[in-house]
């Protein structure tokens, strides 16, 4: 099974995007002055388009290890190839302990500064478009719940496997 993992932060501050409005009536979006945020871990199953997601107070090695354990319990007992960027919280003793305890989990590190290669980035983009662009929500916990609900209730198909002819290669070995 091939999965792609990434993290994102959600702020109460609305991210702005284009919107239709009557001529001469510029839409107004309230700006929240604070920098409170909620962090999310998200893992896209490249075969099914489903996402394993959870909120975290911090993005560090302990939170990352907990998310890896969540992935391992959510995915049947099959080998997992996890596509991952080189974030500093993807290293450390808690990560090494999870990898040592679960040899079926293998990590493939993506090149530095190449977010366009990680399909989970497109999941964040789609979810931000659906939930956090141009919003008027004043409660971060409500916005975070809607964000997480969107991640869990939708499928996000990636063309990465088709682009590299994964189905053809797998059929050759069956």
Using DSSP's 3-state secondary structure scheme, residue 51 falls into strand
Calpha distance 100→64 (Å, rounded): 15
Range in 32-36, 71-75, 113-117 with the lowest mean pLDDT? 32-36
pLDDT of the residue at 171: 45
Average pLDDT over residues 98-118: 94
pLDDT of the residue at 22: 84
84, 68 Cβ separation under 8 angstroms: no
In this model, does residue 170 exceed pLDDT 70? Answer: no
Enter the CATH code of domain 2-9+35-173. 3.30.420.10
DSSP letters, 83-123, are EE---GGG-SHHHHHHHHH-TTEEEEEPPTT-GGG-THHHH
Calpha distance 158→24 (Å, rounded): 39
pLDDT of the residue at 11: 83
Calpha distance 161→64 (Å, rounded): 25
CB-count burial class (<10 Å; 0-12, 13-18, 19+) for 157: middle
Average pLDDT over residues 78-85: 95
pLDDT of the residue at 172: 42
pLDDT of the residue at 16: 62
pLDDT digits (tens, 9 = 90+) for 56-72: 999 999 999 999 999 99
pLDDT of the residue at 133: 67
Range in 19-33, 58-72, 101-115 with the lowest mean pLDDT? 19-33
């Amino acid at each position: 099974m091939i999965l792609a993992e990434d993290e994102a932060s959600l702020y109460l501050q609305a991210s702005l995007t284009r919107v239709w409005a009557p001529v001469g009536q510029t839409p107004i979006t309230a700006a929240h002055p604070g920098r409170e945020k909620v962090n999310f871990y998200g893992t896209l199953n490249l075969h099914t388009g489903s996402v394993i997601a959870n909120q975290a107070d911090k993005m560090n090695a302990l939170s990352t290890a907990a998310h890896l354990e969540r992935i391992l319990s959510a995915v049947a007992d099959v080998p997992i190839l996890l596509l991952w960027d080189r974030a500093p919280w993807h290293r450390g003793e808690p990560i090494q302990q999870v990898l040592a305890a679960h040899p079926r989990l293998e990590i493939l590190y993506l090149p530095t500064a190449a977010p366009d290669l990680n399909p989970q980035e497109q999941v964040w983009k789609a979810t931000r478009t659906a939930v956090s662009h141009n919003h008027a929500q004043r409660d971060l916990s409500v916005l975070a719940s809607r964000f997480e609900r969107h991640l869990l209730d939708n499928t996000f198909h990636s063309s990465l496997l088709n682009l590299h002819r994964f189905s053809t290669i797998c059929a050759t070995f069956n």
